[in-house]
Amino acid sequence: MKRPKLLPLLILSLIAFFSAFAPQTTHAAQEKTYTFGTDVTYAPFEFANKNNKYIGIDLDLINAIAKKEGFKVVVKPLGFNAAVQALEAKQIDGVIAGMTITPERKAKFQMSKPYYPTGPVAAVAKNSKLKSLKDLKGKRVAIKTGTAAADYANSIKKKYGFTTVTFDDSNNMYQDVATGNSVACFDDQPVLQYAIATGEKLRILNKPETVKYYGIATSKSRTDDLAAKINAGIKAVKADGTYDKIVAKYLGNGTVASQEKKNAKVQENDRSFFGLLKENWGTLMSGLGQTLLVTLVAIVCATLVGVLVGLLGVVPNKFARGVSITFIYIFRGLPLLVLALFIYTGIPSLTGTKIPAFVAGIITLTLNEGAYTAAFVKGGIGAVNVGQMEAARSLGLPWGKAMRRVILPQGIKIMVPSFINQFIITLKDTSILSIIGILELTQTGKIIIARNMEGFKIWTMVALIYLVIITVLTWLSKYVQKRMNA
Ligand code: ASN
């Protein structure tokens, strides 16, 4: 039979592959794309709509600015504090998240021209008897990490004698007040007003002491003209009426009544478990897709690293064993969350090079799960009777061959259950990566709940999806295990 002409085929596919990545010369490709971090939910400035698409004044504003100034934007809902940290680490180009311009922030970041007036206030449950800040004495108050409202609350904490508890997003903070765990929360006036107008059972307690403004933050050390473009863009959209249109689109004539009408429409949706499941199915599935992708890549990388480090731990070489012990010690010892933040925001703030969230997530899981894998690989080999190695060696087999032919086949059988266990743990651990903004299943759940406040039903759905996948994974592993033993 004639051999297929492989060489031309190979060359053709290489050309196709590289041309896909070659710089495009079209105009569109020359427009620079900038990434902006935003809050998970901060309506009317940023929030997910019914189809889980991000909308809001901030989103429309940055898109209008980009259009005017000829650049492209990608907006990532990281959560406010995480977005600010990502900007500090230069992982993103800017933050647009209802971000108050404060002297401290001006010192740290390049803050744009002001665009919307704001100020921190306290809110209590609608039916609460509290009347003023004085009534907060001895009570527990909710604040949100890293916000101007939290700084304000902390600054008057002593004077009014309350204690604080911290949340990562506004929605959780409001829930804490609604359930009565905290008697009040501190957030920005326009955001609280909107939340109340759209059905949140809260009441604003006081007036802001001073008027502040929202601005868009970029990094101070940039050498390009992004900050100037943003300022020029804000000026242009304010001058030509685009900005007013954007605000009117979300706030209507600004009255509570118009919001209540909108809210009534939302209530018409099917709020039953299956209604919500149907409505959010696509989003949940895309989150699951990301979870599975991260899990799969991480399992492959962690297994490779783990087996390698595990083997290093049993070779007759002190240095190699030292490397193995240190690796396991460090990466098994570090909490996954700390490791993820260290890689995603810690390292880039030192080196100045971006690490995409997906890559940072994979590195995190590879190091952590790899360390656990290394430990049981080492243990599995160690569990094979020492007599076996001695016997193999006395038969004249060199160490490497004895390891491969005699010890490993027995060791691997011992390790299989641990591998299965580790795969399942890896799948579950991906949820921690929601902290660095990977849109996996858990983060997807958070975003949906931030929009519809259906915590119980949505977390039940998320939990069920995890359980289904873990069950399938377990069955699959058991099947492989049986085949191996057959
Ligand atoms: N308004 C907050 C601040 O300026 C930001 C936010 O919660 N999205 O600190």
* The pair of three-digit structure tokens given for residue 256, joined into one six-digit string: 């509570």
C-beta of 312 in contact with ligand 1 (< 6 A):
no
- Site to probe by mutation for ligand 1, drawn from 36, 39, 172, 187 as the one with most ligand atoms within 8 Å of Cβ, is 39
Distance CA 416, CA 425 (A): 14
pLDDT (mean) for 417-442: 91
pLDDT (mean) for 165-181: 89
**By percentage, how much of the chain surpasses pLDDT 90?**
67
Does pLDDT of 17 surpass 50? no
* Res. 18 pLDDT band, cuts 50 70 90: very low
C-beta of 97 in contact with ligand 1 (< 6 A):
yes
Mean pLDDT of the chain: 88
Ligand 1, atom 5: closest residue by C-alpha: 99
Residue 403: CB partners within 8 Å, gap ≥ 6? 314, 381, 389
Burial class (CB in 10 A: 0-12, 13-18, 19+), 255: exposed
pLDDT (mean) for 57-65: 97
Query: How many of the other CB atoms lie within 10 Å of CB of 476?
Result: 12
Phi, psi (rounded to 5 degrees) for 438: -70, 130
Lowest mean pLDDT: which of 47-61, 113-127, 362-376? 47-61
C-beta of 109 in contact with ligand 1 (< 6 A):
no
- The identity of residue 294, as a single letter, is V
Does pLDDT of 129 surpass 60? yes
As beta bridge partners, residue 75 has 36
Domains for the chain: give ranges and CATH numbers.
Answer: 28-115+214-257 (3.40.190.10), 120-210 (3.40.190.10), 273-485 (1.10.3720.10)
Which letter does DSSP use for residue 42 in this model?
B
H or E segment and range at residue 97:
strand 94-100
Instruction: Please name the residue that has the structure tokens 């795969």.
Output: 423
pLDDT in tens, 298-308: 999 999 999 99
Query: How many of the other CB atoms lie within 10 Å of CB of 479?
Result: 10
Residue 386: CB partners within 8 Å, gap ≥ 6? none
Distance CA 132, CA 96 (A): 32
* The pair of three-digit structure tokens given for residue 474, joined into one six-digit string: 């377990």
C-beta of 81 in contact with ligand 1 (< 6 A):
no
C-beta of 39 in contact with ligand 1 (< 6 A):
yes
* Res. 26 pLDDT band, cuts 50 70 90: very low
Does pLDDT of 457 surpass 70? yes
C-beta of 148 in contact with ligand 1 (< 6 A):
yes
pLDDT value, residue 451: 74
Q: What share of the chain is helix, strand, coil (3-state, %, to 5)?
A: 65, 15, 25
pLDDT (mean) for 328-343: 96
Which letter does DSSP use for residue 242 in this model?
H
Does pLDDT of 14 surpass 60? no
Phi, psi (rounded to 5 degrees) for 126: -50, -40
Which one has a higher pLDDT value, 17 or 162? Answer: 162
Using alpha carbons, list the distances in angstroms from residue 62 to 42, 88, 114, 370: 15, 20, 13, 41
Distance 36 CA to ligand 1 centre (A): 15
pLDDT value, residue 449: 82
Region of 466 on the Ramachandran plot (φ > 0 left; ψ -120 to 50 alpha; else beta) = alpha
* Res. 2 pLDDT band, cuts 50 70 90: very low
Determine contact, residues 358/372, Cβ cutoff 8 Å: no
Query: How many of the other CB atoms lie within 10 Å of CB of 352?
Result: 10
Burial class (CB in 10 A: 0-12, 13-18, 19+), 200: buried
pLDDT (mean) for 45-70: 92
pLDDT (mean) for 264-278: 75
C-beta of 144 in contact with ligand 1 (< 6 A):
yes
Task: Name the residue among 197, 189, 139, 126 with its Cα closest to residue 165.
Answer: 139
pLDDT value, residue 253: 62
Distance CA 118, CA 191 (A): 9
- Site to probe by mutation for ligand 1, drawn from 36, 40, 42 as the one with most ligand atoms within 8 Å of Cβ, is 42
pLDDT value, residue 33: 95
pLDDT value, residue 412: 86
